[in-house]
Amino acid sequence: MADEEACGLGQWRPKSLQKLNTLKYFTGLLCLLTFLNGTEMSYRVSTLTTLEKRFGYQTSAFGFILAASDMSYVPALIILSYFANRFSIPKVISIAAILLCIASFLWQLPHYIFKNGHTTNLDIILENKTMIRQRSSGLCNTALSSNGYHNIDDTSVAEACNVAHGTKSNDEYTAVTSIFVISQLIMGVCLVPGVTLGISFIDSTLKQQGTSTYIGMIWGSYYLGFVAGYLEGAIFTSIYIDLSDTKLSPDDPHWRGAWWIGSIITMILALLIIMPLMLFPKSIPHPTAEAEAPEDENEELEKVTANNNEDASKANNSDYEYSIKEFPKVLSSLLTNPVYMGIVVGGVFVCYIMLPWPYFLPKYIETQFYQTASTANIITAVINGVASCSGLFIGGAIQAKLNLSMQGIIRVLMVATVMCGGAMGLLIAFDCEDQFIDAHVDNSGRLNMTNQCNAGCGCSLDDFTPVCSVEKMYFSPCHAGCSNAPFEEGGYTIYENCSCALDYDHVFFAGMCPKDCMPVMVPYIFVAFVILFTTYCTQVLPMSVILQCVKEEERSLALGIHLAVFSLFAFVPGPPIVGKIIDMTCIIWEGGCDDGRCLFYDRPKYRYFYHGVVAALQLGALLAFFLSYSKSKHFHIDNNNPKIRDNEIEGEDDELVRKRGEAENTPDGDIEEAIEMLPRNRNTDQENEQIDDIKSVENENYKGISC
């Protein structure tokens, strides 16, 4: 075996190491790398609410951070796909593992720099306005109220917020955001070698035989990593941020989970696979050929493989030059292809179900159904993980079994879109009622919880510190009219002498009231699962339509544009857009400023906006798919003729298209039998035209794709 084709580094290539120079070992390491990529990505999503509390993020700001990975993915895909053949693919993949280590380290770095706490807008406001309040316990203080200290005019709030914003932007907030964005940009680059170059490398090794099994293993590992990431988030968000003992419980609004631990695990595991990947040579022997060839023939086998790879590389370069020359013409053809454009545009709208909507599902479950971050992550892992894995597998199997025509596929897409859009609207109905009493949104859009029992307390909405009594919850001890300092008893923090109590001696307990939202949450989870399962089931279908409705020489560019449009209009803007929609439903911001984290949402508005916008986008998808369907009836692709022409047989139905396709693929000796397959209820001229088309298969070796 030639040194350059043997496992090892430099001159160190021991014989004992060569038994690992097989495709199965390489694929195993590649699957582990893609698994770690998926795990790290979903783990970051699972810590959304924790990071909002810790660093004061708005949901839209964190959505921008998440979208950074998609900003780098497409440029990295283009660059690496072109230059990678000049290098050893296993070495490039090992560099991706190094980058994953760097990205994971950067994500946890803010915890080591800034520790556990941060300066809130409220702290800055109180410091700058020199207002002394009983903020430690949030008690009712009629003396402060009578002196007017609880009243802050709009000008004072604006001045304080400007100070807070300036301090935050020049300090922790900007530094942390920059680190997170850089980490996400690196994560986008990490994904390319594993799922793109790795698959291409395996395909060239197998000579396009049995590649689909390996592709399934690699992508399956990635989606399995998504499930693992949410479960990992469930574990570590239930551990306090600094790993210390605390009297706070995970359901306390002030709880912050250990968001940084998961990235440590990813970093360590990625470190372990760097060296094994680095040891693989530029090419791996074909599994079958390696097993059959004697040891003294291995070198000759590798020379042949190297020659084949060189020929393939030359062919690829030739195709590239041709594509550059023909690019404007091919691009124009694709952009004026109504079937193709309808599928691409419709797919963008559908993508909002797959990406940004599930990103914020844990946060929605926490907010609407009063669940802890840990529970919300477990639920999301089950919904999204099982739906994606099973949906892709079952969808592919159904497509292979039914062998649908192009129009049949588009009909399935339209039905699925109607189902998902309707079900998304149905999710709005699942509401677990608010626990607050005597609360309403005033004309200024702010939440008003002032009533007769707390009118003189001078209460503020700056900090959410709920107290509960007889299943009635108040925003803070102040809003409950509690004036005495709390005390601990039996593991509970208890407030007495509260003017809003039903009885004079009645007490309030710190924390949210127990709320059984299970009767509402269970059907919500089921419907959400059906939506995601249906969406993933149909994800293989648009690709089939694209491959059928464009000419053969346009397919590579068509698929590239398909991915680029998805990234440009769905993957990149999706998370910030949905995050901004969620922020629009906030009615209490931390410290009274609109640039920190949200303390309380208008829950009905949140419910309508979060689902309603995504449901409305499905209407756009339906219209786009309908355009494709209506146009697919009346045109035909001829790969030998660059012109797209209308069907000469007007009104040709799916059954006739199918039979024409069968006839076109019939062996020469069975042409007459194939002609008999055609319907006889047409007029003579139409039948003759159909027969002439079929005979042209024999005479001209016609190769076309019926659309």
Quick one: which H or E segment has residue 468? strand 467-469
Residue 64 above 90 pLDDT? yes
User: Which residue type, as a one-letter code, is found at position 493?
Assistant: T
Average pLDDT in the 247-272 region? 90
DSSP annotation of 371 reads -
- Give the integer Cα–Cα distance in Å for 208 and 213: 11
Cβ pair 89, 277 in contact under 8 A: no
- Which value, in Å, is the radius of gyration of the alpha carbons in the chain? 31
How much is the pLDDT for 263? Answer: 96
Q: pLDDT band at residue 305, thresholds of 50, 70 and 90?
A: very low
Q: CA neighbours within 13 Å on the CB side: how many for 253?
A: 17
Weakest-pLDDT range from 335-349, 619-633, 642-656: 642-656
In this predicted model, what pLDDT tens digit does every residue of 551-593 receive, in sequence order? Answer: 877 777 787 788 888 888 998 999 999 999 999 998 888 766 6
591: alpha, beta or left, given left = phi > 0 and alpha = psi -120 to 50? left
**Cα 195 to the center of its chain, rounded Å:** 16
What tokens does 78 get?
A: 């283009």
Helix/strand/coil percentages in the chain, nearest 5: 65, 5, 30
Quick one: which H or E segment has residue 644? strand 641-645
DSSP annotation of 486 reads P
Q: Which residues of 637-660 are buried (b: 16+ CB within 10 A; e: fewer)?
A: beeeeeebeeeebeebeeebbbbb
DSSP annotation of 467 reads E
Which one has a higher pLDDT value, 46 or 84? 46
Cβ pair 353, 570 in contact under 8 A: no
Percent over 70 (pLDDT), the chain? 71
- Give the integer Cα–Cα distance in Å for 490 and 508: 14
How much is the pLDDT for 259? Answer: 94
Average pLDDT in the 167-190 region? 86
Q: Which residues of 391-405 are buried (b: 16+ CB within 10 A; e: fewer)?
A: bbbebbeebeeeebb
Residue 607 above 80 pLDDT? yes
DSSP 583-632: HTTEEEEGGG-TTS-EEEE-HHHHHHHHHHHHHHHHHHHHHHHHHHHHHH
- Give the integer Cα–Cα distance in Å for 15 and 20: 10
How much is the pLDDT for 356? Answer: 87
**Cα 28 to the center of its chain, rounded Å:** 24
Residue 292 above 50 pLDDT? no
Residue 15 above 70 pLDDT? yes
588: alpha, beta or left, given left = phi > 0 and alpha = psi -120 to 50? beta
Residue 41 above 90 pLDDT? yes
- Give the integer Cα–Cα distance in Å for 409 and 407: 5
Shortest CA distance to 492 belongs to which of 192, 211, 247?
Answer: 247
pTM as predicted: 0.76
What tokens does 205 get?
A: 């090794």
- Give the integer Cα–Cα distance in Å for 22 and 452: 77
Mean pLDDT for the chain overall: 77
How much is the pLDDT for 644? Answer: 41
DSSP 59-101: HHHHHHHHHHHHHHHHHHHHHHHHHGGGS-HHHHHHHHHHHHH
**What is the sign, positive or negative, of the torsion defined by CA atoms of 111, 597, 434, 454?**
positive
Residue 462, SS3 per DSSP: coil
Residues forming a β-bridge with 468: 473, 509
Weakest-pLDDT range from 51-65, 324-338, 403-417, 651-665: 651-665
DSSP 293-333: S-GGGHHHHHHHHHHHHHHHHHHHHHHHHHHHHHHHHHHHH
Cβ pair 94, 600 in contact under 8 A: no
Residue 140 above 80 pLDDT? yes
Cβ pair 309, 204 in contact under 8 A: yes
Cβ pair 403, 661 in contact under 8 A: no
Residues forming a β-bridge with 645: 636
- Give the integer Cα–Cα distance in Å for 287 and 290: 5
Q: CA neighbours within 13 Å on the CB side: how many for 246?
A: 17
- From the DSSP assignment, how many helices (H) and strands (E) are in the chain? 27, 12
What is the bridge-based pairing of β-strands 492-495 and 508-510? antiparallel
Quick one: which H or E segment has residue 432? none
Weakest-pLDDT range from 2-16, 126-140, 230-244, 271-285: 126-140
Cβ pair 603, 434 in contact under 8 A: yes
What tokens does 347 get?
A: 């797919």
Dihedral (Cα; 278, 284, 288, 294), 10-degree rounding: -100
- Give the integer Cα–Cα distance in Å for 623 and 418: 11
DSSP 254-302: T--B-TTHHHHHHHHHHHHHHHHHHHS-SS---HHHHHHS-GGGHHHHH
Residue 244 above 60 pLDDT? yes
Average pLDDT in the 515-533 region? 93
DSSP annotation of 2 reads -
Work out the end-to-end distance of the chain between its first and last CA atoms, rounded to an integer number of angstroms: 50
